[in-house]
Structure formats: C-alpha cells, structure tokens
Amino acid sequence: MPLKRFAGGVGGTWQVERIESVTGPSLPQVPRLAVLDDASVIDVGAAWVLRGVTGYQRYVQRKEQEILHAKQPQLGRPEATCAALIPIAKSIAWWQLAQDERREIFEESSHHIATGLEYLPAVARELHHGRDLGEPFDILTWFEYAPKDAPAFEELVHRLRTTPEWDYVEREVDIRLAR
Amino acid sequence: MPLKRFAGGVGGTWQVERIESVTGPSLPQVPRLAVLDDASVIDVGAAWVLRGVTGYQRYVQRKEQEILHAKQPQLGRPEATCAALIPIAKSIAWWQLAQDERREIFEESSHHIATGLEYLPAVARELHHGRDLGEPFDILTWFEYAPKDAPAFEELVHRLRTTPEWDYVEREVDIRLAR
C-alpha cells in the first residue's frame, strides 16, 4: 500500500500556521511540514514524523463511492494553497465494535460521508491509516482548499466534531498549513 | 496493534509437515516454523518471515461477533497439536470494491463467517492483517486443531476455496504444521 510520511520540522513545502490540540496531547511546534512518499530520503530536520497508508475504504458503500469518485477533486490544485493535517486516535471501545456498529455510528448517526460530500469539490481530502502500523494516530486526514473556502472548511471540521462518532476520538491534533 | 511474525526456518515450536501453493508462487521449504511476537529477537535461522497484526474486525457484524466470542476457543489448547498457516493475497479488484460490496461477497454470497462457525469449537483461528504493512500477503490465518479434527479442517478449507470470495484470491499458500 502507498505509504506517506508527514514530517514536522524545518523543511518541506508547507509552512505551519498553527498546531493545536483538540483532544489529548498536542505535537511539538515546528515551522514547516514535508509530505514524503515511501521512497523519499530527504533530510527535512524532522522533529516528528507521522506515517499512514492510503488503504482501501473502510466504511464507504458503493453508492457513496460513486458520488465521491464523481465529485472529489485531486490533490495539488494550484488554487488550493491552504491545507490541514488532522491526526486522530480513537478509543479501544471504538475498535472493539463490530463492523456494522462502527458503520452505523460513522454514517447513519454521524453522517460523516454525507457531511463531507457537502463540501465537495471545495475541500480535497486524503485518508491515511496508521493503526496497523502501530502509529500513535489511527487516521491522518489531509485536506487541501483555497483561501476563499477556509470558512467552509472550518464549518466542516466543527460539524464533524459534534457528532456521536467524535465521542470515540481520544486524541486529535489540528495542524494548519499554507504554501 | 499486536504484531506477530511467522518465521520459517530451522527453529521454532512447530514442525513443518508441508508447504504447498494453492494459487501463485509458493514459499521456500523449511523444516520448522516459529511464531514470534513483536518483541522477540530470537534467531530462528529464518528463510522467510511473514508479518501481520491482529487488528479489528473488518466484516464481522454484532450478532456474529457475539456468537464468535461465545463459541471460539483460545489458541494453545494442549490437544490442538495440529496447526495451519494460510497466507493469502487478494486482487486489486477486491480492494477497490466498496465496503458493502466486499461484505456481501464475503458473507452473504460466500458465507465465510457462517461456514467457520460450523467448525467451532474444533478449529481455533486467529487473523493477522498484513496489507497496510506492505507485506506480500494481505491476510495470514492461523488455525489450531486436534488430530481427530483434521478431516473437519480439510473440509472447512475446501468449502471456503470454492466460494465466490476465492475468485479474488490471487495468491495462497497452505502450510501445515505439528508440534
């Protein structure tokens, strides 16, 4: 599976605007963030490195997948000069739930996919799974958007954090970036 | 997540009775297999090592989970002197399916969980996920059973291999062990 590393340090394309804890311990402050694929061996003076794989879809159903494929933009759009990296870890209680219970909380109760769809194509998104790698965060979500869509992005993040799904989030850090 | 390594070599608790390819390339023949947890640094003269994490359930629903918890035996029963390690890799087509499509093939069409339940408590089982780790096999399934249950185990394996789910298996190796 394609592995990405997000390295917080003194190098990289992205300037860090802020790093804030939402729940649990934050990450050390750094001035820049580099996004590296598996093969990169660039020294970015990293204070910390988060890893995740862009794996298969864990909850998305066929009809949702079709809409997502039709509406979601690629990463790297020239106008999308804002980005966010939001690492989260969910509780043991979440991971011990059966698949249908997690799906129900994720979508039928919390409308995670449906809510995200409302912000397409403004907000591009990529998921990286770290749990099987033994990483401190289960999921790293990377977002890219244009400055004019920043208010919409704030709204999206706020809405998700008030859902039942977020009761299971025991650590969340919000890292905002610009290039 | 707890990571296990299955090391084929000249050391380890398990004597290898046979290693056979079911689909695709086999693994090199070795006389013994060691099952190591993450922390082990024992030199077992390994010719190959397969890794996987015992993660959360990918397809099991709540009602199935309850039955599994009630019926499935622990590993390490004294009478269970036979074991099998069956590594499989599924095709890209499988992993590109949406969650509900994979679940439907897995259970509603192929009855993977229901079939396994018929062989409980005779056959103990543990799943290890290797896909996110970049391993050559997506799933390593470890089975333990008593010699008297060997015919039942052969039947279980045969039944699963004739299901629609197995159309997506592009590599499978069958490793039989005894201690």
Q: Do B61 and A98 touch (CB under 8 A)?
A: yes
Residue holding tokens 């390690």? Answer: B85
User: Which chain B residue has the Cα nearest residue A130?
Assistant: B132
A 10 A CB-CB count for B156 gives: 21
Interface of A with B (CB under 8 A): 1, 3, 53, 55-62, 64-65, 95-101, 103, 129, 131-134
User: For residue A13, which of A88, A79, A76, A73 has the smallest C-alpha distance?
Assistant: A76
Q: Do B131 and A55 touch (CB under 8 A)?
A: yes
Q: Do A65 and B134 touch (CB under 8 A)?
A: no
The token duo for A131 is: 């749990």
User: For residue A83, which of A171, A14, A31 has the smallest C-alpha distance?
Assistant: A14
User: For residue A144, which of A120, A163, A160 has the smallest C-alpha distance?
Assistant: A120
Q: Where are the beta strands (DSSP E) in chain A?
A: 3-9, 14-23, 32-37, 48-53, 82-90, 124-129, 139-145, 169-178
Beta pairing class for B82-90 and B3-9: unpaired
* φ and ψ at residue B113, rounded to 5 degrees: -70, -50
Q: Classify the phi-psi angles of A151: left when phi > 0, otherwise alpha if psi is within -120 to 50, otherwise beta.
A: alpha
- Per CB-CB distance under 8 Å, the chain A contacts of B62 are 97-98, 100-101
pLDDT band at A96 (very low <50, low <70, confident <90, very high): very high
ipTM score for this prediction: 0.90
Closest partner residue to B134 among A1, A58, A62, by Cβ? A1
Residue holding tokens 């599994």? Answer: B68
Q: Express each pLDDT in B108-117 by its tens digit.
A: 999 999 999 9
Q: Express each pLDDT in B89-102 by its tens digit.
A: 999 999 999 999 99
User: Which chain A residue has the Cα nearest residue B128?
Assistant: A132
- Per CB-CB distance under 8 Å, the chain B contacts of A129 are 132
- Per CB-CB distance under 8 Å, the chain A contacts of B57 are 98-99
- Per CB-CB distance under 8 Å, the chain A contacts of B55 are 95, 131-132
- Per CB-CB distance under 8 Å, the chain A contacts of B129 are 132
Average pLDDT of the residues in A150-164: 98
Kindly tell me if the per-residue pLDDT of B42 is higher than 70: no
Kindly tell me if the per-residue pLDDT of A93 is higher than 90: yes
Contact yes or no for A165/A104 (Cβ under 8 A): no
Q: Do A132 and B1 touch (CB under 8 A)?
A: yes
Question: Could you tell me how far CA A16 lies from the centroid of its own chain?
Answer: 16
Closest-CA distance, B47 to chain A, in angstroms, reads 24
pLDDT of residue A55: 82
pLDDT of residue B37: 86
| pTM > 0.90: yes or no | yes
How many CB pairs below 8 Å do chains A and B form together?
68
Q: Do B96 and A56 touch (CB under 8 A)?
A: yes
Give the span between the Cα atoms of A38 and B70, in whole angstroms: 42
Q: Do B62 and A103 touch (CB under 8 A)?
A: no
Beta-ladder partners of B6: B35, B50
Question: Could you tell me how far CA B100 lies from the centroid of its own chain?
Answer: 23
Give the span between the Cα atoms of A122 and A156, in whole angstroms: 11
